[in-house]
């Protein structure tokens, strides 16, 4: 079974530029999560999708971050314009169920450096 795929693995941009990250969850997983993990901290949930609907985006900085999962499969997270404090690893995870209890399957992450 293929795992959660993320790309790109690494991205370096200058502040005020834009960037997009892509995630393809495990086949059949209804729920998809985007997390931001700043060095030395635990992951922070940015947005949770159930199929193609948003369950929780309360911590997504909507003035600069956007995410979509149009067909309920893969997802894109965009940052525009980027700030220095957006430097982090962006983790995508998926789960079979529709709640947060249970095992999450994580991708390897996309490491963003904003200069």
Contact flag: residue 88 with another protein (CB under 8 A): no
Contact flag: residue 22 with another protein (CB under 8 A): no
Which one of residues 29, 45, 74, 87 is an interface residue with another protein (CB under 8 A)?
Answer: 45
Residue-by-residue DSSP string for the chain: ----EEE-SEEEE-TT--EEEEEE--TT--EEEEEEE-TTS--EEEEEEETTEEEE-TTS-TTTEEEE-TTSS-EEEEESS--GGG-EEEEEEEESSSSS-S--EE---EEEEE-
Task: Give the list of residues 6+ apart from residue 61 with CB closer than 8 angstroms, or none.
Answer: none
Question: Is 45 or 81 the residue whose CB approaches another protein more closely?
Answer: 45
Question: Is 57 or 68 the residue whose CB approaches another protein more closely?
Answer: 57
Are 18 and 78 in contact by the 8 Å Cβ rule? The answer is yes
Contact flag: residue 43 with another protein (CB under 8 A): yes
Q: How far is the CB of 11 from another protein (least distance, A)?
A: 14
Choose the stretch contacting another protein; rule: CB under 8 A; options: 12-20, 62-70, 74-82, 92-100. Answer: 92-100
Contact flag: residue 25 with another protein (CB under 8 A): no
Applying CB under 8 A, the residues found at the interface with another protein are 4, 40-45, 48, 56, 91, 93, 99-109, 111
């Amino acid at each position: 079974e293929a795992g959660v795929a993320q790309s790109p693995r690494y991205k370096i941009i200058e502040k005020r530029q834009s960037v997009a990250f892509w995630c393809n969850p495990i086949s059949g997983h209804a729920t998809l999560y985007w997390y931001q993990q700043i060095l030395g901290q635990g992951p922070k949930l940015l947005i949770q999708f159930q199929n193609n609907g948003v369950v929780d985006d309360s911590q997504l900085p909507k003035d600069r971050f956007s995410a979509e999962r149009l067909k309920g499969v893969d997802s894109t997270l965009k940052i525009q314009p980027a700030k220095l404090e957006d430097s982090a690893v962006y983790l995508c995870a998926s789960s079979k169920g529709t709640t947060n209890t249970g095992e999450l399957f994580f991708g390897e992450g996309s490491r963003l450096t904003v200069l």
